[in-house]
């Protein structure tokens, strides 16, 4: 087992990893920029080291992070998600310094991070992929010629893209020409590479992803699927596990495809294979995320498998200790990304000081966060300030419990997406599981709501205001 782990990340995922380390009896080491000096992950780790004044540079410097790990006596590094979590260079630097990277090998990260190479690998493994360009595009004229052959609408994508960045839908040649340089520029700035490719746009698909785990002995299993169709501009908002839109035959098929995909590239550790499901109920491989996902929480809730713990154990050389027959689905779970955004103002970020925070509680409730009363959300990072996870035995119970839990959490000082999610829960298409990735765009009225408070909410506001006058 690894002896000491540096967490090359911040916020709630760093706190989540620290908790897993503590349960395993492994000391944890945090890193932080000056903007994160008072962050919760810094307070919870056994040790913490500064990265400097720049809010981003330290988190994105593989050599600095590995130097700190070696100096602190760490034999493992967990990258979390975002930042350098899918950096083959980071994994290589760890390997060269004798530090275990808690994730797949640098070769696999590079192979699956290159979307055109990933497509080729999946085609060779017999995994269905959406029709698209063969390799990277040469220039805009090449793009136009291949788009004509594929048929509009098409998706113009950065080869190294991810997280909803470096991607544009084009419905015509004019839009393709207009977007070509924009995607090139965005890809270069975000990923350091200018390569792009084309795929046919599957209009309003369902976005289904499968969680997989693989050990160093070649054992691979899946932990069933998550439905991530509720998203805005390719950014996920609500995730569900299992998908309430799949039947058992579809569920078994997509699980088998995900395991086959992982075995085809000799995948180790935790990963996610993402698929699109079209209106004819055909699955198409989209991409593979070579890291822990933001939404890993709901898979943990329905399977009872601690994914972050498994990551550490696998990286330590331990066998998976699970067979596919051991994995059973228990109930339904939903994750609501509580973002510091104002849905009534085009989702404008709402960074600032959280004057008071009261966590949700009760049966089937879990909150993964790094905020606390008095904490100031820095404007340099993602707007997600908490993940609210709800479990229930069946779909109808999940809906009612989710509404209760969203009304239970209290955040003062910033605007959040909580009222927006309450509106989604009331929409008949969501309640009857009749939704796809076009749901948010098709329902702009969901951002219309009153912020009028109930008597209990008013009492909470008054209590928070009185408490604010006291010295803490």
Q: List all residues 6 or more positions away from 222 whose beta carbon is below 8 Å from its beta carbon.
A: 210, 211, 212, 213, 255, 258, 259, 324, 327
Q: Which two tokens stand for residue 137?
A: 């595009």
The Cα–Cα gap between 299 and 369 comes to 17
Known catalytic residue: 111? no
Instruction: List the catalytic residue out of 111, 251, 291, 415.
Output: 291
Tell me the C-alpha distance between 371 and 12, whole Å. Answer: 8
- Alpha-carbon distance of 396 to 431, in angstroms, equals 8
| Residue reference for tokens 């060269």 | 96
The CA distance from 35 to 52, in Å, is: 9
Q: Which of 208, 198, 200 is nearest to 283 (CA)?
A: 208
138 φ/ψ angles, rounded to the nearest 5 degrees: -80, -45
Task: Determine contact, residues 296/209, Cβ cutoff 8 Å.
Answer: no
Closest CA to 305 of 401, 399, 207, 212: 212
Instruction: Please report the beta strands in 37-129, taking only residues with DSSP state E, as ranges in sequence order.
Output: 47-50, 76-78, 100-101
Coil/strand/helix, residue 391: strand
Q: What are phi and psi of 42, to 5 degrees?
A: -70, -40
Tokens of 131: 């029709």
3-state secondary structure 347-365: CEECCCECCEEECCCCCCE
DSSP 129: B
Quickly count: other Cβ atoms within 10 Å of residue 235's Cβ: 16
Is 273 within 8 Å of 288 (Cβ atoms)?
yes
**How buried is 69 (Cβ within 10 angstroms: 0-12 exposed, 13-18 middle, 19+ buried)?**
buried
Residue 111: phi and psi, rounded to 5, are -65, -45
By DSSP bridging, strand 356-358 and strand 410-412 are antiparallel
Cβ neighbours, 10 Å, residue 434: 12
> Could you say which DSSP state residue 453 is in?
P
CB 398 within 8 A of CB 332: yes
Q: Which residues are catalytically annotated?
A: 291
């Amino acid at each position: 087992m690894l002896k000491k782990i540096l967490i090359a990340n911040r916020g709630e995922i760093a706190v989540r990893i620290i908790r897993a380390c503590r349960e395993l009896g492994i000391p944890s080491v945090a890193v932080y920029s000056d903007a994160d000096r008072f962050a919760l992950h810094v307070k919870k780790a056994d040790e913490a080291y500064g990265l400097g004044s720049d809010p981003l540079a330290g988190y994105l410097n593989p050599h600095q992070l590995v130097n700190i790990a070696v100096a602190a006596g760490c034999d493992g590094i967990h990258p979390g998600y975002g930042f350098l979590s899918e950096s083959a260079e980071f994994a290589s630097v760890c390997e060269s310094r004798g530090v275990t990277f808690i994730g797949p090998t640098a070769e696999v990260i590079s192979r699956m991070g290159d979307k055109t190479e990933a497509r080729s690998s999946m085609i060779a493994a017999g995994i269905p992929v959406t029709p698209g360009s063969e390799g990277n595009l040469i220039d805009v004229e090449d793009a136009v010629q291949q788009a004509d052959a594929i048929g509009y609408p098409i998706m113009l994508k950065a080869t190294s893209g991810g997280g909803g960045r470096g991607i544009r839908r084009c419905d015509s040649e004019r839009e393709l020409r207009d977007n070509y340089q924009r995607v090139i520029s965005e890809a270069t700035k975000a990923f350091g590479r200018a390569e792009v490719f084309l795929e046919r746009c599957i209009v309003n698909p369902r976005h289904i992803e499968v969680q997989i785990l693989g050990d160093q002995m070649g054992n691979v299993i899946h932990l069933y699927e998550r439905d991530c169709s509720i998203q805005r501009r390719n950014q996920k908002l609500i995730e569900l596990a299992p998908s309430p839109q799949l039947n058992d035959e579809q569920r078994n098929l997509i699980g088998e495809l995900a395991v086959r995909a992982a075995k085809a590239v000799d995948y180790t550790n935790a990963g996610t294979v993402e698929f699109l499901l079209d209106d004819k109920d055909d699955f198409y491989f989209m991409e593979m995320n070579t890291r822990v996902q933001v939404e890993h929480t709901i898979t943990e809730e329905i399977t009872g498998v601690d994914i972050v713990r498994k990551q550490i154990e696998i990286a330590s050389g331990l066998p998976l200790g699970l067979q596919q027959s051991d994995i059973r689905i228990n109930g339904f779970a939903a994750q609501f990304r509580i973002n510091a955004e104002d849905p009534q103002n085009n989702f404008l970020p709402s960074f600032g000081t959280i004057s008071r925070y009261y966590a949700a509680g009760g049966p089937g409730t879990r909150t993964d966060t790094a905020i606390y009363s008095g904490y100031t959300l820095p404007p340099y990072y993602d707007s997600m300030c908490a993940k609210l996870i709800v479990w229930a035995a069946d779909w109808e119970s999940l809906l009612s419990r989710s509404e209760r839990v969203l009304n239970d959490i209290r955040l003062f000082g910033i605007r959040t997406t909580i009222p927006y999610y309450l509106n989604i829960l009331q929409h008949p298409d969501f309640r009857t599981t009749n939704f796809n990735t076009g749901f948010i765009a098709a329902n702009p009225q969901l951002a219309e709501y009153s912020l009028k408070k109930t008597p209990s909410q008013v009492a909470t506001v008054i209590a928070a205001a009185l408490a604010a006058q006291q010295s803490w």
